[in-house]
Structure 1
C-alpha cells in the first residue's frame, strides 16, 4: 500500500474530526425565515416615482354587465388631453412594450408619435379575449338577424367611450379611435352609432367584407392559410397556436392534405365554431351580406371625420378601406370621409415605411404621413388646432415617382382604357384580330404564390404582392402577354378591371390576373432590378360566381364565358423603357384553396376524385376580346 504524504494525512484527519462538530451545531430557524403565504403579493407594483406617465388597468362595465379589460396610459400632470382609443383582440397589454420611465420609450413603436403628442392612450380587449369577460365571437356581427343579443362592438365602443370621458378627469372629453386590421374593423363598428365624444377616426386596413376581398375570401376563393389564424385566435382566450406542420414546405403540406376542409379536419379546426360557420357559407349569402360593413356604413352614416387608410400592396385587407370610402362617397357622405393609400404592406402604417419589397424611398413614408397628416388631422378635431392645409378627398402615394399625390376627386382617371391581349403573346391598346391561347391547369401541380419552399413562418408573406414574377412566367400553365417597350410614361390612377373571355373543359375554375411592370433588362440605377417583373395589382376570381356571387352555377364546358372583376386600386407610373405585362393562370397555391375544376356544392370539402385537369382557352379579339381595362390618367 502506498503511503500518503504527511500533509494529506493531516488534512483528512481534520475533515474527519470536523463532521461531528458540525452535526452538533444545527442551524437555528428564526420566525422571519418562515414563509406561510404566497410569494406573489396581491397588489405589488414597482415604484413609478420617476415615470413621466401613470398606467391604470380597469374593468369597464358594459350595458349587459360584462366588463372589458382596459389599459390606460396617462402622462403625468395631464390636463385637458384628448383620448386615443384602440379596441383589439390581440392583447391590450401588448402596446406597452417596456417598463421604461419615459412614456415614448415604453410604448410600441407605432405609438411613439402619439406619446410625443400628449395623448391619453387607451387599449381595450374585445369581449372574451385576454382580460375581458364575456364570449368571444370572430368579428361579431351587428345586432340583428345574425346577432340576437343586445350588444355588439358598436355598443361596446359606445359604453367604453362613455366611461372614459366620465372617469378620466385628465381628459378634455374628446376621443379619437384608431386601429389596423381587426382593430380597424372595431373602429368601423364604432362608426355605426358613434358616441357624441367620438370626434375623429382612422380605420387602418380594416376588415370590411371578408368574402369579397379582405381576409377570408377573394371573390369566393378561400384563403386557406387563414386556418392558422383560426386556430390561434379562437382556439384560446389568450394567444393560441397555429397548426402543427408535418413538413417544412406549406406547398407540400396543403397539397398532401387535399381540400381546405381536409386540412381543417386533420388539425381539429373543424371543431371551432367560426370555421363551422364560415365553411357552411362558401357563397355570398345572407351570412356575409348582413355583416358587410361598407353596406352598413351607408345605411347608418356618421358625421365623424374619418380617414380610411390602407396599403397599396396590403396582402391581408386590400379591399376594405377603399370600398368603404367609395360607398360613403357615392352615397353623398364624402365631406367627412377621406381615403389614404400608402406604398405599404398590411399594417406597415404602424412601422417603418422606408422600404417596401424592392422599393427604397427617399424617407420614411409612414412617419412622414403620421407626423404631417394623420396626427394634425386628429389634433384639429380633438384639440381645435388648425391644419396646415385642408385634408383632400384622397391622398395616394406613387411609389415610382416617390411622392404623395393629393386628389380633390378619386379616381384620377375618369375612363378606363382597354389593354387587349394580342397575338404572339403581345399586349396593345388596339383591338386585335380573333384568336385564342390555351394552357392546361392541373390541380395536382398548382402554381405557387411564391417561389418554393414556402415555410409557415415566412418573412416574404408581407411583401409577396411585389415579388418578382419571373418564376411564374416560366411555367406552361401561365399565359404571359406584354407590350413593346414603352416610349411614354403610363400613369394609372384607379382600379384596373380584368375582363377575360374564356372557355374551359371543366365545369368550374379560377382565374388569376396579374398586372405587372417589367423593368428593362439592364437597369443601372439598381442593377439587381434588371428584368424584374413587379406586380402592380393582381387578384383571383372563382368562376362559379361569374353570374352571381350569391347563387353559384357550373361553368358550361366548352362555352365562352366572361369573367370580369376588379383588381386592387393603384396610383402608379410605368416609366418609359419599361413594359406592361399581364399574366393569367388558374391557381395561386397554397394561399388559395385549389378549385377542383369539377363543379361540387362546396369546394372546401371537395374529394380527391373531384380534382381534374382542365384546358383553358383565352379568347382574343372579336365580340369577346379579353383585356385589362386600365385607369390611364390623361
Structure 2
C-alpha cells in the first residue's frame, strides 16, 4: 500500500487549519534550519590546555602591525623569551597539531625550551600571512638599496621592545633563533640590536644568495628557486610551478634557458625573478646585501652561536662566512661560536639519527639542542643559570661518529691531493704534465641525482648531497680519480679547496668537483654501505667568473685557467680501507641551469643555438697539477 505524499501547498493548508500554534512551530523550524552555521571565532585552546597562546598585532615604528603569537606553559613567570621571525606562517608554527599539550602544538625543537620555562614567540615578517605591510625578499638593510628606514633590524628591535614592555611573564631578556630565512632574520636582529637581546642562534642562515646560498652558487643559477618564489610571493594561486608531475630533467631540458622556463610559466611576473635575471653577475645588488660583509663591519655585541649542517643542500655558505667575518673581533673567543652538525638543511631542529643511508650513534639534533644550544641560551637568558662555557667551535666528525670541540676553524692544515693521469689520486705531485679530456654536451647534461628528478620530493631533495655517486661514475662526461684503500685514517676539518687547472674548446664552461668517500666493496659491518660513493663535498663554479665574480668574460678556447673555489665546510674521517675519490664534470642538472658553453652576456637569455658541445681538458702534473687541498688534521 502506498502512502499519499503531501505537497507544500497542501501542508500549508493543513497547518493553517490546525491553528496559529502550529504555524508558529513551522516558522521556528524554518528559522532554525536556515540559521547560518558559521561563527566569528572559535578558540581551540580549551580550559584544560597546559599552555597560554596569545595572538597580537605588534606596531612597528612606521605604523605597520606585525602578527605575533606568544606561547608559554601555564604558570610561567620571570621567563626569557625565545623569538623567531618567519616568512612561513607564525600561526602554523604555533599550531602544528590541534592539541591541549604545548609540546604538540609547537615544533620538535621547542620542547626543551617551553618545558623549562621559556616563552616562545613567532612572528610573521611584514607583508606575509597576517602581518601588514609590503613584502620584499630578504629586505635589504637601510642604506644604498633601501631608503625607507625600515628593515628586518628595525622590525626586530621594535618587536623586542614591545615584548619586554607588554608580556608580563617575562624577565626582560630575549634570545632569537631560526633556520634558513629565519636564520637571516636572526642575523639582521644583530644589526643595531635592542638592549634586551642577549643571545642569538642563527641556523643555516641565508647570507649571500649569489656566492653560495639559495639562488646561485659561484654564479650558477639554481632552477628550483622558481618554485620557492611562487610558493612564497603569490597572493593568489601560490604554490608550486604548474609544470606537471613528470621528470624535471626532461622538463627543464625541453624548456631551454632558465629565462625561457620562467617565461613559459609566467614566472617573469615575479619581482624576485626579474631581480635574478637582471643581476646574473656579482654586482652591487648582491654585494650590498651580503650579511657577512654587513656584520663584519660592525662590532658584535650579542653572543652568537652560528649553526649549519655539513650537508646543507640550501644554505651551506652562510654560517661559516659570518663566523669568518666576526671571529677576528672575538679576542676572548667567547662571543661567536660555530657549530657544524651531520645534518641536511634545518635538520638540527628535527630527529637526526640518520641521513639517507647514513646512520649516526644517536639523535644528533637532540644532542646538540639539549647539550649545547640550550645551555648557551640559558647562560645569557635565564636568571641564575650556570655560566657554562660555550665551545668556540663544535663539529661532528662524520665517519667517526663523534662530537669534537676546538678553539677555532678551520682546524686542518691545507694539504693537496693530486689528480693523476689515468684516474689516480694521491698526495704525491705528478711530475709529468698530462691531461684528461671529456666532451660536455648541454643536450645531455649530467643529472645531479638519479632520474626521474623531482626536486619537490623531500626524499630526493633533502639528502641529495650524500647520494651514492655510482649512478654517474663511468659516464664518459665524468672524470673519476680515486686512491687505493687507505692504510690509516685521513681526518679533514675545514673547507676543501678546489685547485683545478682546466681548459675548454668553448668560450664558457661550468666546473663541478665532488669529494667522495668510497666504502669498501665488501663491507659486512654495514652491508647497505658496501661500495657506496658518499658525497663529502660537492660544488659548482661558473667559468666566466674565473677572473672575478663581478667581471664575467669569455674564456679563450684551449687556454688553461686556474679555477679556485671552496667545497662546503666539513669535519670528516676517511677510515682505513675506504678510498678517497674526486669526480670532475661540467653539469649538475637540473639543479643548476645549463651553461651554453658559448659566452653570452646573460645566460638567462641564451638561445637554442648558443648551446654547444665542448671538449673539456683537466690538467694533471707539472706546473699545472690539479688538486683538492684537504684541511688535514693530525690526530
TM-score, with length taken from structure 2: 0.95
**Structure 1: how far apart are the matches of 2:6 and 2:205?**
76
Instruction: Judge conservation of contact 2:58–2:162 (CA < 8 Å) in 1.
Output: yes
Q: How many residues align?
A: 620
In structure 2, the partner of 1:49 is: 47
Distance 1:561 1:89, change over 3 A: same
Instruction: Judge conservation of contact 1:193–1:302 (CA < 8 Å) in 2.
Output: no
In structure 1, the partner of 2:491 is: 491
**Structure 2: how far apart are the matches of 1:263 and 1:296?**
34
**Structure 2: how far apart are the matches of 1:203 and 1:17?**
73
Instruction: Judge conservation of contact 1:246–1:253 (CA < 8 Å) in 2.
Output: no
In structure 2, the partner of 1:90 is: 88
In structure 2, the partner of 1:482 is: 482
Distance 1:47 1:550, change over 3 A: closer
- Once the two structures are overlaid, the 10-residue window that deviates more, 46-55 or 589-598, is 46-55
In structure 2, the partner of 1:59 is: 57
**Structure 2: how far apart are the matches of 1:78 and 1:396?**
34
Deviation at 1:224, TM superposition (A): 1.1
> Aligned runs of 1:144-293 on 2, under 5 Å?
144-236=143-235, 240-293=238-291
Distance 1:423 1:21, change over 3 A: closer
Aligned to 2:26, what secondary structure does the other structure show?
coil
Is residue 519 from structure 1 mapped to residue 546 from structure 2 by the alignment? no
In structure 1, the partner of 2:528 is: 528
In structure 2, the partner of 1:472 is: 472
Deviation at 1:37, TM superposition (A): 7.6
In structure 2, the partner of 1:303 is: 301
Alpha-carbon RMSD? 1.8
Unaligned runs of 5+ in 2: 16-21
Instruction: Judge conservation of contact 2:44–2:98 (CA < 8 Å) in 1.
Output: no
Instruction: Judge conservation of contact 1:194–1:302 (CA < 8 Å) in 2.
Output: no
**Structure 1: how far apart are the matches of 2:578 and 2:52?**
55
Aligned to 1:93, what secondary structure does the other structure show?
helix
Is residue 553 from structure 1 mapped to residue 553 from structure 2 by the alignment? yes
Is residue 616 from structure 1 mapped to residue 613 from structure 2 by the alignment? no
In structure 2, the partner of 1:34 is: 31
Instruction: Judge conservation of contact 1:538–1:568 (CA < 8 Å) in 2.
Output: yes
Aligned to 2:120, what secondary structure does the other structure show?
strand
**Structure 2: how far apart are the matches of 1:234 and 1:46?**
29
Deviation at 1:99, TM superposition (A): 3.2
Distance 1:323 1:385, change over 3 A: farther
> Aligned runs of 1:256-405 on 2, under 5 Å?
256-332=254-330, 334-387=333-386, 389-405=388-404
In structure 2, the partner of 1:605 is: 605
Aligned to 1:324, what secondary structure does the other structure show?
helix
TM-score, with length taken from structure 1: 0.95
Which digits, 9 at most, give the CA deviation of each residue in 1:560-616, with x for residues without a partner?
111011111110000010110000000000000000000000111111000000001
Instruction: Judge conservation of contact 1:448–1:590 (CA < 8 Å) in 2.
Output: yes
Instruction: Judge conservation of contact 1:100–1:106 (CA < 8 Å) in 2.
Output: yes
Instruction: Judge conservation of contact 1:485–1:576 (CA < 8 Å) in 2.
Output: yes
In structure 2, the partner of 1:7 is: none
Instruction: Judge conservation of contact 2:467–2:535 (CA < 8 Å) in 1.
Output: yes
In structure 2, the partner of 1:6 is: none
Deviation at 1:359, TM superposition (A): 1.3
Distance 1:21 1:612, change over 3 A: closer
Distance 1:93 1:151, change over 3 A: same
Instruction: Judge conservation of contact 2:299–2:329 (CA < 8 Å) in 1.
Output: no
**Structure 2: how far apart are the matches of 1:25 and 1:540?**
85
Deviation at 1:21, TM superposition (A): 8.5
Deviation at 1:105, TM superposition (A): 2.1
In structure 1, the partner of 2:539 is: 539
